Amino acid sequence: MNFEKHLNGKILDPIHGTIRITEIERQVIGHSLFQRLRGVKQNTFLYKVFPSAMHSRFEHSLGVMHVAYKMFVNLIINSYRYDSKYHDKLIFKYIDEIEDKNIQELRLAALLHDVGHGPMSHQFDSFLLNKEQLISVLGPKFHDVYELIDSDGKVEHEHISVIFIRKIFDDLNLNGKVNVDNVIKLIELNYKYEGIFIINKGHKFDIQPLFTSLISSCPIDSDRMDYLLRDSYFSGVKCGIYNVERILMSIVPVTEKGKVYLAYKESCLDSISEFIFSRSSLFSQVYYHKTNRAFSSMLTKVCEYVKELNGGDLSQKLYGFESGIDNYNLDSLVEFYLDNSDDYFINKTVPKLIEDNSCAEDLVNNIVKRVPWKKLYETKLIYSNKSIKDSVDKALIANIKLKFNDEIGKFIKEKDYIIDIMTDNAFKDVNKTEIKLLIKRPDGHYQSKDIIDCGCKLNAYQSIKYFVRVFINPDRLPDSRKELSSNLEDIKNALVGEKLVITIRPEMENK
């Protein structure tokens, strides 16, 4: 492989050591739309619980690029080894013939996968424009982006990433050096573009499924591989550790009907289960820490207040549409994102949106001053004996919120409490993934199966968790909080019914 000669720059990283970069990547990293990620924390409010968790989307993006490339290099090595050992026709033997420009596109896709995140990362999704507004702002140039948006008109940060990637490529005049459509296709599967192909001895192979899986797939991809190590390191909680080398040694490129896929050896199942468990532990102990969730819930409630104040539409005051949306364009949108780091957004932008609303102002002040609302009630529901095809029970979530609202409303005003329900599915989006599992046959050769059809091998590692909490304004704690907590527990038990639950752990604040 000749791509190594292009890696003439370097960045030192506490997780991966030296991350080498190309000249094109150096230019992209230097672009203001990528540099702004320095001001967007990887985990919005986690630093209020774990002081060192100040790392940003900037270094995470570098890490994802590094891991994706490391996986690719190991695919080349492993393809040699497995082909010489087993001579299986399913092994893709020509991965080392992939052109440098396509490898560069893979690295850029991994680098830019998060570039559309707004301030406060996922918390900002509630503040995004809708499809109609986006069309009014950007015009017909981005018609292919509009086609990615669902019929409900809800814009996701991934759509903003596509727009910003096009902007970066235009600004840096990169379109003649790498194909921007290939980069976008690796991030957005539904992007209407043919994909990346290589031709060998008259045979055409589509390598897009392989490349996409390196960046985003279930249960393992370069995104998760980086954030588990990085978030564990910076939070100081040693639960995101897994056997990196074992995973890298167990990945193989396989071909099926002219397409190339990422596959894991069956002998790697213990390492896969270790990875799944590490991710699950990180969610339980770190991401869903009660104080972190309290601040996130408080910001969500602020967003609800803002919508009420503006007739359900945040855009006019947030983005500055007061003078008319026709006066707004791509440059205006870019300027908004450049101006709004996490700190600026919560300290300057949000307060302007909630003027004359004392409840919202108190919430924001409490967030800034680190005064979380109190946890009145908590329960964790952990379901086992599930299939990897099973998903989160949305009806259960809706019923818990509905019944809890009815009961809590008897004791406390709506403005003074928050019902927070977070879920964790170990095999979330497995139905969308294209990775394979290599299963060894009695004759010593391997067969390739879609990961979603390998429940007999993976169901034992599946778990679906529901983290249910009620947060309350500390100035409004009811005298009857013991009675209320007991009533909520009864409601939850009735809703759960006969479903198998390993853990049900109610807790109550005594202060």
Q: Determine the average pLDDT of the residues in 339-362.
A: 90
- Residue 5's pLDDT is 94
Instruction: Check: CB of residue 62 under 8 Å from CB of residue 223.
Output: no
Tell me the per-residue pLDDT of 112-162, one tens digit each, with 9 for 90 and over.
999 999 999 988 988 888 899 899 899 998 999 999 999 888 999 999 999
The 10 Å Cβ neighbour count of residue 143 is: 11
- Residue 244's pLDDT is 94
Cα separation, 82 vs 84, whole angstroms? 6
Residue 320: partners with Cβ closer than 8 Å, 6 or more residues away: 328, 332, 336
Q: Length of the chain, please? A: 511
- Residue 86's pLDDT is 65
The 10 Å Cβ neighbour count of residue 394 is: 9
Helix (H, G, I), strand (E, B) or coil at 411: coil
- The model's confidence at residue 505, banded by pLDDT at 50, 70 and 90, is very low
Exposed, middle or buried by CB within 10 Å (0-12, 13-18, 19+), for 499?
Answer: exposed
- Residue 502's pLDDT is 43
Here the tokens at position 330 are 């791509």
Residue 15 DSSP label: T
Tell me the per-residue pLDDT of 454-471, one tens digit each, with 9 for 90 and over.
999 999 999 999 999 999
| DSSP-derived secondary structure for 372-392 | PPEEEEEEEEEE-S--TT---
Residue 95: partners with Cβ closer than 8 Å, 6 or more residues away: 75, 76, 79, 253, 260
Instruction: Check: CB of residue 436 under 8 Å from CB of residue 251.
Output: no
Cα separation, 231 vs 52, whole angstroms? 10
Here the tokens at position 7 are 């890696």
- Residue 419's pLDDT is 97
Tell me the per-residue pLDDT of 201-256, one tens digit each, with 9 for 90 and over.
678 999 999 999 999 999 999 999 999 999 999 999 988 899 999 999 999 999 99
Cα separation, 297 vs 292, whole angstroms? 9
Cα separation, 73 vs 169, whole angstroms? 26
- Residue 405's pLDDT is 95
Across 117-137, b (16+ Cβ under 10 Å) vs e yields: bbbbbebbebbbbbbebbbbb
Percent of the chain predicted with pLDDT > 70: 95
Tell me the per-residue pLDDT of 24-79, one tens digit each, with 9 for 90 and over.
999 999 999 999 999 999 999 999 999 999 999 999 999 999 999 999 999 999 99
Cα separation, 283 vs 90, whole angstroms? 36
| DSSP-derived secondary structure for 177-208 | TS-HHHHHHHH-TTSSS---EEEETTEEEE-H
- Residue 87's pLDDT is 67
Query: Which of these, 246, 237, 238, 236, lies nearest to 273 by C-alpha position?
Result: 246
- Residue 49's pLDDT is 97
- Residue 309's pLDDT is 74
For residue 507, pLDDT over 70 is answered with no
What domains, with CATH codes, occur in the chain? 24-290+429-459 (1.10.3210.10), 373-384+389-425+463-511 (3.30.70.600)
- Name which residue leads in pLDDT, 286 or 314: 286
Strands (DSSP E) contained in 109-174 are: none
Here the tokens at position 143 are 């018609």
- The model's confidence at residue 308, banded by pLDDT at 50, 70 and 90, is confident
Cα separation, 150 vs 164, whole angstroms? 19
Cα separation, 115 vs 187, whole angstroms? 11
Instruction: Check: CB of residue 463 under 8 Å from CB of residue 280.
Output: yes
Across 36-74, b (16+ Cβ under 10 Å) vs e yields: bbebbbbbbbbbbbbeebebbbbbbbbbbbbbbbbbbeb
Tell me the per-residue pLDDT of 171-197, one tens digit each, with 9 for 90 and over.
999 988 999 999 999 999 889 888 788
Cα separation, 70 vs 242, whole angstroms? 16
Q: Determine the average pLDDT of the residues in 400-408.
A: 95
Cα separation, 267 vs 286, whole angstroms? 30
Tell me the per-residue pLDDT of 281-305, one tens digit each, with 9 for 90 and over.
999 999 999 999 999 999 999 988 8
- The model's confidence at residue 170, banded by pLDDT at 50, 70 and 90, is very high
Cα separation, 298 vs 425, whole angstroms? 24
For residue 276, pLDDT over 50 is answered with yes
- Residue 107's pLDDT is 98
- Residue 247's pLDDT is 96
Q: For the chain, give the mean pLDDT.
A: 91
- The model's confidence at residue 508, banded by pLDDT at 50, 70 and 90, is very low
Residue 6: partners with Cβ closer than 8 Å, 6 or more residues away: 22, 23, 100, 104
